[in-house]
Each structure stands twice: as C-alpha cells, then as structure tokens.
C-alpha cells in the first residue's frame, strides 16, 4: 500500500513538473513573438483596432468594441469635434464575443476608460462556440497561438527590445474608424417589425459579456450595450434577446435600430452596401446620438480647450481631409 501511494505521488509530481515546464515554455515563446510595436511590420494583429497603444497612456475615456458594424458606424473624431470626449474604435473584422473580451483586456493595460460600449452584432456570430471561447482565452494568456507565424521573420534582437508604440497611420489618428462615403440604399423590409422566431444568445457570448461587465466594474468603467443600425443582420428577435439579457444584468442597452427617426437616419442615404454597414454620413448621425447619451449620463471631460489634447484637433483635420477624399 505504501509503495502504491509513493508511485501515485511520483506520477503526480511528474505531471505537475511537465505542466510547469510546458507553461514556462509557452510563456517564454509568447514573450519572444509578442510585437513590441503596434504596426503591421512589427507583427501586430489588426493595428487599426489597437491604435490606442500609440495614444498617451490613460488619455482615452470611451471605447467602442465590436465587429465591422462598429468600426464603420462610430466616429471618434465626430465625438471629439462636437463634445470634446476622447474615444477609440476597437472594432475588428468578424470579431466574436470572446475576442471582444480580449480586446477589453488589452485596452485596460494601457487606458482607464470611463465608458465601454459593446456593439452587439458580434454576439450572434456563428463563430461564438465553446471551442472558440477556450481558444480565445488560451490565445490571450499565451500569445504564441496568435503570433506563431512570426517565427518566420522574427529578429531575436527586436524580441528583447522595450515596447515602443509608434504607429502613426491616418486610420489610427482618426480613432480606428473605417471611412466610406459610398451610398447604396437598402430597400428591403424592416426586420425590426418582421415577426420572427425566438433567438437565444450563445453561451459563449453570455460568458464574454459577463466577464466584460465584471472587468468594467473592477476598473471603474461603465459598461453599455449598443447596436448601431444594421438592416440585414439585426432583427426584432435579436433585439428582444439582447434586451432581456441586459435587463437581467442591470446593463444599459441602446438599440439604435429602434430610434432611427430621432437621428434623422435613412437607409436610402446612410448605408454604403445596401444595409450591411453604414457610411460616414450615417456614422456621424450615430455618433452624435451616442454623444448626447454620454453627455447626459456620464461625467466625461470636454478636453477641447486642454493643451495636452491639442493633437486631437490636428487629427480631426486629418479626418475631414479623409472624408473629403473618400467622397471624391
């Protein structure tokens, strides 16, 4: 019996030692491949959504997280120009909910936001599976899984350099928004009024939102659920599911699809691709709507007369020029 117990103990020690070595190896490799700059050249994944790294630390008060709906539908420069609030659009293409959670974790390493807005189109993505959830959690803890291809171009000397964020792309200076002035009207039915069957929020998405709410509470940020206008993907059933979840958690929920008239929003003029995404004109309307909500409900500083934030005025000029260029 005593020999058997020693054998079990020995095996347990071997397992623990093996896991420890594996953990250390993954952490070490992750350290080597993690980009030291927020540029594509340095290996950063989707730099536009992570441009907040290049801004002065703790200088951005509002963040928007979501998929392409959010980075097309919210304008940090319009919010700055009209309200003086600093914001960044951290949307990513086809971002799923747990990737949004990871984005929030990244944001909190660099900034102390007052408000975090999550666009809910991403929570109904088909890729919000339990398997992808564990993959995303693992990838955040061990970046080697996200950046494993960097070994092909990795310069070991740069792997030990200090972090230095230098990305000065115009898309980052304007806050991560994707600009498109094209008009392609949506002429289909109103899916908000259409009778549709019950829709449930995937477990993976609920987990991600629960964790995001918790992180916001721990870091003194308000957590707000929104949905920017989306004629194709958003429905009355999705609205009902999102509203029920928000009410159960005590989270504010703004569904802009239900208030298009007060924004002066039109699917004839404010979409670039027949209802999938909104254009710069639509984004300005959405942003002003959200700006008024933020002004009425949160104590956000107007930094327009603050000399430390004067570069935002320069960035706004870049934004205006980019809008004109996209319109020509």
Question: What is the DSSP secondary-structure string of 64-119?
Answer: EE-SHHHHHH--HHHHHHHH---EEE---TT--HHHHHHHHHHHHTT---SEEEEE
Give CA–CA dist 266/281, Å, rounded.
10
Instruction: Quote the CA–CA distance of 29 and 46 in Å, as a whole number.
Output: 21
Name 255's bridge partners.
Answer: 227
**What is the pTM (predicted TM-score) of this model?**
0.86
Radius of gyration of the chain (CA): 22
Query: What's the pLDDT score for residue 177?
Result: 94
φ/ψ bin of 241: left (φ > 0), alpha (ψ from -120 to 50), beta (otherwise): alpha
Average pLDDT, rounded, for the chain: 86
Q: What is the dihedral of CA 99, 105, 111, 115, to 10 degrees?
A: 70
pLDDT score of 171: 86
Tokens representing 219 are 């870091």
Ranges of residues in the chain whose predicted pLDDT is under 70 = 1-6, 8-9, 12, 15, 17-45, 138, 140-167, 194-196, 328
Q: What is the pLDDT, as a whole number, of residue 295?
A: 98
293 Rama class: left (phi>0) / alpha (psi -120 to 50) / beta: alpha
- Unique residue bearing structure tokens 């898309």: 171
Measured distance CA(56)–CA(165) in Å, rounded: 10
CB-based burial, 36-61: b 16+ in 10 Å, e otherwise: bbbbeebbbebbbbbbbbbbeeebbb
CB 271 within 8 A of CB 183: yes
Domains delineated in the chain: 34-327 (3.40.50.1110)
Res 9: pLDDT: 67
User: Which token pair is 111?
Assistant: 């900034």
- 55 close to 88: Cβ distance less than 8 angstroms: yes
């Amino acid at each position: 019996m005593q020999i058997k117990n020693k054998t079990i103990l020995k095996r347990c020690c071997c397992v623990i030692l093996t896991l420890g070595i594996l953990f250390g190896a993954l952490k070490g490799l992750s350290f080597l491949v993690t980009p030291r700059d927020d540029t594509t050249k340095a290996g950063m994944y989707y730099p536009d959504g992570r441009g907040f790294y290049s801004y002065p630390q703790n200088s951005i008060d509002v963040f928007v997280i979501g998929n392409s709906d959010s980075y097309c539908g919210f304008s940090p420069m319009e919010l700055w120009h009209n309200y003086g609030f600093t914001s960044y659009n951290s949307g990513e293409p086809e971002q799923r909910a747990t990737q949004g959670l990871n984005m929030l974790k990244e944001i909190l390493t660099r900034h102390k936001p007052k408000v975090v807005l999550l666009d809910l189109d991403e929570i109904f993505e088909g890729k919000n599976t339990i398997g992808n959830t564990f993959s995303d959690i693992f990838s955040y803890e061990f970046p080697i899984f996200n950046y494993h291809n960097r070994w092909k171009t990795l310069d070991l000397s740069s792997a030990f350099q200090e972090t230095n964020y230098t990305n000065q792309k115009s898309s980052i200076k304007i806050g991560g928004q994707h600009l498109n002035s094209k008009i392609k009207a949506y002429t289909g039915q109103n899916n908000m009024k259409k009778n549709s069957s019950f829709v449930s929020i995937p477990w993976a998405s609920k987990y991600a939102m629960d964790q995001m709410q918790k992180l916001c509470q721990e870091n003194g940020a308000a957590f707000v659920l929104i949905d920017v206008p989306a004629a194709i993907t958003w429905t009355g059933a999705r609205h009902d599911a999102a509203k029920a979840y928000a009410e159960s958690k005590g989270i504010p929920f703004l569904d802009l699809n239900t208030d298009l008239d007060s924004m002066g929003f039109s699917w004839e003029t404010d979409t670039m691709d027949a209802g999938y995404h909104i254009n710069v004109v639509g984004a300005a309307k959405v942003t002003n709507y959200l700006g008024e909500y933020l002004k009425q409900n949160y104590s956000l500083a107007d930094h327009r007369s603050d000399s430390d934030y004067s570069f935002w005025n320069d960035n706004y000029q870049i934004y205006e020029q980019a809008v004109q260029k996209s319109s020509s």
